[in-house]
Structure 1
């Protein structure tokens, strides 16, 4: 089997969330193809990832898709800039790598969790992610919350719990009392007493509504500096938080180590860390309890499995970061099913919206707070005909 061409796709942008999934389809001479995604749909970078896949595609034409390790090493070394752990470069490599695994699974008529060693568990516990936007809504705007009131957070948590979730995650710091996103100046340094009071009122409202049998995860999106991150961590201790995600930006692992030494709340990060080399400092200094690699930007499935295995040596738990199309959801489910150190699956609000669901053929949603990996060959997910008809597609051969 040989790779004959690569189709690079920019799916239609969600008019509300502004997500822009970048997909590649690797085709072979035996008619088997595989899909992969560059998980750079939010923020800036989608156009760059699209062009980078085009740049990398000629390097894999004519190669055997089963040689994923050989191809990964070639892309990583030959692309020059990837060795600096750049997010856009690694997201393009990730998309191609994921597509190769999809081809392997389809060729062998096996779901990917089988190729990864089998099921460690039959189903995956999920948490409802980003309830600051509400829950069970048709759309969401990442730059504006429907409300900033503590009662709104409590109501969103209640909706998720009523659907069977036993864990929820919210960013209690992102929006002010009117639901407007805090400015950079307002979110760094020590938070104002007014804002800290509002953050605590929101946490308390959620706890009062759903109790302490429900796990509460606090998201920070690295929007604050270390001083503020420690403030938030201390507040999390009071409300028995499961873990605090991205208390500050992950560029300096020593800062995470400093925060962790001053709080009992477990810390997590990973969606903006790439390859084994990017995760190694966090693993070595034991500043994290939970690692959160994104298969669509950390280097693909080939690299994500190695990162998870490294973490397992130090008894660290894994929660894959999932915030892209349903294709990324499916690939994450396979790895989380197969690894021994899985903690919990992130079910992001974007994966509940009709627009995002329509991007792919199959709709994998939790039932009573649990979800299972697809049993179809390969990833078990395909881009829908509707999404393909609206996508911008270029073929490299």
Structure 2
């Protein structure tokens, strides 16, 4: 096989894959290397919600661009995109104030949205309890994908569309160095070598194989999330991305664009939930199972192992109790529960290092990878190859 490329992308998740995609669109030859037999990180352990409405500043723009990118690919190849919109359901007066303020913001910039009365919410989402829903804000243009399928289908699409694309799974990169006028990348202690003009490292939560000293001083933290999947429930009507009151008290768009955000108080029944970073989301999958979550517990990059891979029964119980307050189906009919992990930074939206003009690190995009990676990577590739 060819050993030299315009670009080598290290990492097979969503952020690395969209860097590869945009480089291919611009005519570059690309080798993408994934350390595992297939991607197993945050890209496949999430809700698959693409929700620009939750982003702020330029990240909203990346999210909107991402909607167009996902939809355009879906027209060519089924990557599991469904356009059923996103809804944020307000359960009290403060949350109603927040959704009204967010609508006012999006109206000023022309991002389509509408308020749903309690009656409209219950008609559109019969599974939501009338005792919970007071009002909602709906974004019809937003989409969801199947997180357990999308990245594999995207890789398959890219392999069929781009002759200059090479994808190698089970290829852990153990060295990446500038040599001569390019980059040399080694697999398995340099038993296999590739060269390129440039390399981009999108390493997810793997911080020990490449540049461990750099990452140990990066300030990155890793978030552990707990999520659950119900048994198939074809009778439950719950299409699209369902976000709830706690989400309005958490997401960046509400924090930055709603004047009341800083002054609203946390009700007593939310205190324990907020302690564990819980906000309740629902996403019904094509197989009629319903994903329910999630929680957020953090550790710095040097103590990632402290998070453990076990699941906290207490956290799952808190989520199930709150979920049962919101919907009228039996949320305890579960077929699986799991933990996901993603890196983020306390003060940066993404962590970037340009080690020279050839080796570029783009990582720790946080919980917005599914929404923002497609749009962000487009701009990132332009800058890297400018």
Q: TM-score range by the shorter chain?
A: under 0.3
Under a length normalisation based on structure 1, what TM-score does the superposition of the two structures give? 0.25
Under a length normalisation based on structure 2, what TM-score does the superposition of the two structures give? 0.26
More helix by share: 1
RCO higher in structure (CA 8 A, sep ≥6):
2
